[in-house]
Amino acid sequence: MRKALRDYRHVVWDWNGTLLDDTWLCCAALNHLLAQDGHPTVDPVYYRQIFQFPVIKVYQAIGFTPDEHSFNAMSVRFMHQYEIRKQECALHPGAKELLARFQQCGLTQSVLSAYERELLNTTLEAYQLTPFFIKICGGHDIHAGSKEERAKVHLHDIQHDPEEVLYIGDTAHDAEAAAAMKVDCVLVGHGHQHPDRLQGLQVRVVDNFSTLLNEL
C-alpha cells in the first residue's frame, strides 16, 4: 500500500524541471548553441526524450563527441544563455501551494539540485522560496553531474531515517538519487524528461502537482 503523503516527515525536492518550469528555456539555450555551431536544432518533445544525467550524454545523443575541455566550454555557453533569460521562467502550477501544504502538515523540506549552489541559492531567494527549506544543496559546478553521492550526504545532514523521507523529482536520475538514499520517490511528468521515459522505474509517476495537492 502506498504511504500517505502526510505520513512522511521530510520532503527532498529537485529544483529544475520539478518546481521550476524551465524545460523550454533549457531547450532554447541548447538550440542557441546548436545554431551557432551549424547543427540542426531540436524541438521540445525530442529534447525531453533525450535529456539525461550526466548532461554530457545529451550532447552525445545529438551527435557531439565532446572531450572534457569542449564540454566545459559548451557548459559555459549554455549557462550564459540560461542565466540571461531565467527570470522568464515560472514555477509549475501548484508548486508554491504544495510547498505550503507540506509545511502546514508539519513536514520539513529541502532541495537537492544539480544546479550550481550559489546560483541555486540566489534563484530560490528571487522566487521567495528559501523560507520553505531547512537545507539547500546545489552542485559544485555548472556541469550538472550526478547527484547520487551528494544524496547520501544530504540524507545524513537532514537527520531523518529513510522511511521518513519522500523525494520528488522529474527525471530518472532523481529516482537514482532517491535509491541511493533508500527513500521513496515520486516523479512528476511535467519536467525535463518525457513521461514515457519515467515509466518502468519502479517509482510512482504523476502528471502534475494537482494529484499530490488532492492527497493533502
3-state secondary structure 125-143: HHCCCHHHCCEEEEECCCC
Using the predicted structure, report yes or no on whether residue 143 has a pLDDT greater than 50: no
Using the predicted structure, report yes or no on whether residue 1 has a pLDDT greater than 70: no
Average pLDDT for 7-13: 97
113-152 in b/e burial notation, b at 16+ Cβ within 10 A? bbbbeebbeebbeebebeebbeebbbbeebbbbebeebbe
Proportion of the chain in helix, strand, coil states, percent, rounded to 5:
50, 15, 35
For residue 141, name the pLDDT band (cuts at 50, 70, 90): low
Average pLDDT for 14-34: 95
Sign of the alpha-carbon dihedral angle for 178, 91, 210, 170: negative
For 5-21+90-213, the fitting CATH number among 3.20.190.10, 3.40.50.1000, 3.30.930.10, 3.20.20.80 is 3.40.50.1000
> How many CA within 13 A on the CB side of residue 42?
24
The edge-to-edge listing of strands for the beta sheet with 184-188 is 135-139, 108-116, 10-13, 165-169, 184-188, 204-206
Using the predicted structure, report yes or no on whether residue 66 has a pLDDT greater than 80: no
Q: Which range (26-35, 64-73, 83-92, 180-189) has the least confidence? A: 64-73
Q: Where are the domains of the chain?
A: 5-21+90-213, 23-88
Q: Which range (60-64, 84-88, 122-126, 127-131) has the least confidence? A: 60-64
Using the predicted structure, report yes or no on whether residue 113 has a pLDDT greater than 50: yes
Q: Which three cell numbers, joined as nine digits, stand for 19? A: 518546481
